[in-house]
Amino acid sequence: MVAQVVFPQFQISGIFIRDEPIVVIAASDALTDGGTRVAWSMKAFRTLAASKGFARVTSREMPNALLPGATVICGVATITLDLGAGSLDAEILVAPTEQWREALRDRQMVGVLFVRPRRGKDSSVASLTRSGRVFGGTASVLLVDSAAVGARYQFVGGQGAAPPLPHMQSVLLDASVLVDLERAAAATGNPTLWAPAHQLALQLVPMDVFPGPGLLEVLCTREEGAQGWDRAHSLIAAVNAWFDGGIARASSLDEVRAAYRQQMSEDLLDRVPVPLEAHFEQQVHYASLLKLASLWARARGGFRARQRIELFSEYVHWMANDLRLSSPLPLQIARDRLVGPQDGAASYTDQLMKLGKRPLDDLWGASWDLVHLAATAMFERGSVADIEGRAAVLVTADRGLVQLRHRIIDLPDEVDTPSGRVPLKLAQTDVDKRLQMHEDKIAQLHSVLIDSAKERVEGRALRTSPEHVSRLIAQLELDVVAALAP
């Protein structure tokens, strides 16, 4: 019989013992490689404890054993532990209380207990100590400044705006976060943003972090044929410097900067983790936002109900007949901006599109924001699985993007029709109170997109292509510049 590999399970939490904050690692049962739950032997537990540097606790006093290279990170939502000699797999992380977090403030070391509870019996620390089931040590501690992280960054994922969890979710970085991390590593830009970026990195370093589409955004610039190779090199170097050296490196800004300089001297572009060909999805988003901007320019100067309906109708027919593609995310934005509740729900569109002195650049950036959201499959069942089967969470400094996420959290990209699955379905279909008497007319416009999608599925209508969308963009850019001219 072939022996099965056993994977022990651990729960990490923060408790108080005699008013002292203590990290407890509770080693419960284990799982076999076949998924069967089995008991984990005391012999295996003691061997693992010794290999990590823990000493046996013979009283309720913590031993003086220093866990070599071990660091406890009290993050925004979890307590994570790097044991230096190797991390513990299959961790269940319990969020620290605010009282426990506060007790760690200004501390450099914290006690760590490694315990083996007894099934169905008294599992208090005192009882487990008497039975030789408690090992202890001390580790350095890092307390992530949750206020600094929350003031600058937002987390966008299928489970809401909660911070990501190690070993359970992968992390994607949008362009704004990549730039912040790059500037902190290179000691450039606004020095007041270095500290929030450093705190964010400490929060994320125990996790699997990927540049995501933010890197592609740098490579694919709006100017035809331009490629941001130098910036891409710098961003990759920054990500490697922050996240490839573990907690020990990330805790020291000087060491991160030294690693960044070393990375900049290496050839990294052969390891770019994203395709460099033109990103068709972004082009579709860009064309859609250009069209919306040109229509929105006509609505300046007041709210006229009939005009708003006509503008939204024109947008829907343009998407069906000119773009030849039904794209749910830009459609939700257009609906919110033109006919949605103007006193609240539509406010995020101003933050997203911006439309400042360089409107084409603003809309180009907004189109990449939509790509970032799509990367987390926000409108596809709420999450997307990576190669490890984990959901993806996007980190962003764009609050308009977070507001948009709340509008499209349940938005699928396809709906079932008699002709098969075709786009699309909106998550939010509320209208401005001044348009409520026209709600049926607005709702009927969506049948235009459903019908056009069915025709393309059945081969009775032209499909779009990258070349076709590029031609649309060329004309739409001229339209937007003209429409927004002073």
Q: What is the per-residue pLDDT across 321-332, written as a single tens digit (0 to 9) for each?
A: 999 988 888 888
Mean pLDDT of the chain: 80
By three-state DSSP, how is residue 131 classified? coil
Percent of residues, the chain, with pLDDT higher than 70: 78
Residue 399 has pLDDT above 60, yes or no: yes
Question: Among 202-206, 357-361, 372-376, where is mean pLDDT lowest?
Answer: 372-376
Q: In the prediction, which pLDDT does 419 show?
A: 43
pLDDT digits (tens, 9 = 90+) for 220-234: 777 755 556 777 888
Averaged pLDDT, 382-400: 64
Tens of pLDDT, residue by residue over 17-42, are 888 899 998 887 766 666 677 777 78
Q: pLDDT tens digit string along 122-174?
A: 667 778 888 888 888 898 888 888 888 888 998 887 555 566 666 567 788 88
Reading the block at residue 216, the tokens are: 């592609």
Q: What is the pLDDT of residue 198?
A: 95
Distance CA 400, CA 281 (A): 20
Using CA atoms, how far apart are residues 22 and 19, in angstroms rounded to an integer?
A: 9
Is the pLDDT assigned to residue 108 strictly greater than 70?
yes
Cα–Cα distance, 325 to 333 (Å, whole number): 16
Candidate from 168-182, 218-232, 390-404 with smallest mean pLDDT: 218-232
- Cα 61 to the chain's mean position, in Å? 41
Of the listed ranges 224-233, 271-280, 333-342, the least confidently predicted one is 271-280
How many whole angstroms separate alpha carbon 180 and alpha carbon 455?
46
Distance CA 463, CA 189 (A): 45
Characterize the bridge pairing of strands 20-32 and 55-56: unpaired
Q: Which two tokens stand for residue 364?
A: 């180009």
| Spatial contact of 269 and 229, defined as CB atoms under 8 Å apart | yes
For every residue of 410-424, DSSP letters joined together read T--S-EEETTEEE--
> What's the pTM value of the predicted model, to 2 decimals?
0.76
Residue 278 pLDDT class (50, 70, 90 cuts) = very low
Residue 276: is its pLDDT beyond 60? no
pLDDT at 354: 84
- The reported pLDDT for the residue numbered 53 is 86
- Give the burial string for 9-47 (b: 16+ CB within 10 Å, else e): bbbbbbeeeeeebbbbbbbbebbeeeeeeeebeeeebbe
CA distances from 445 to 136, 412, 439, 440, 451 (A): 66, 18, 10, 9, 10
Q: Would you state the structure tokens that stand for residue 348, as one six-digit string? A: 């995020």
The residues that bridge with 157 in the sheet, in sequence order, are 160
Cβ-based neighbour number of residue 96 at 10 Å: 24
Choose the most confident range, by mean pLDDT, from 14-18, 69-73, 239-243, 447-451. Answer: 239-243
Closest CA to 324 of 210, 448, 437: 448
93, amino acid identity: L
pLDDT at 417: 42
Q: Using CA of residue 225, residue 231, residue 233, residue 239, what is the dihedral sign?
A: negative
pLDDT at 311 > cutoff 70: yes
78 residue type, one letter:
T
pLDDT above 60: residue 345: yes
Residue 373 has pLDDT above 90, yes or no: no
Instruction: Reply yes or no: is the peptide bond before residue 253 cis, omega within 30 of 0.
Output: no
Pair of tokens at residue 299: 């609505």
Q: How confident is the model at residue 270 (pLDDT cuts 50, 70, 90)?
A: low
- End-to-end, the C-alpha distance of the chain in Å comes to 81
Q: How confident is the model at residue 6 (pLDDT cuts 50, 70, 90)?
A: low
Using alpha carbons, list the distances in angstroms from residue 150 to 106, 208, 403.
20, 20, 15
- The amino acid at residue 8 is P
H helix intervals, 39-132: 42-51, 98-104, 125-130
How large is the average pLDDT for residues 40-56? 85
Burial of 59 (0-12, 13-18, 19+ CB in 10 A): exposed
- Tell me the residue type at 291: K
The pLDDT of residue 355: 86
How confident is the model over 86-109, as a mean pLDDT?
78
pLDDT of the residue at 170: 79
Give me the pLDDT at residue 158, please.
Answer: 59
Whether 43 has a pLDDT exceeding 80, the answer reads yes
Distance, in Å, from the CA atom of 336 to the CA atom of 361, rounded to the nearest integer, reads: 22
The three-class DSSP label of residue 326 is: coil
What's the pLDDT score for residue 48?
85
More confident residue, 77 or 22: 22
Show me where the domains of the chain are located. Answer: 6-143, 147-271, 280-483
DSSP run (H or E) holding 115: strand 109-115
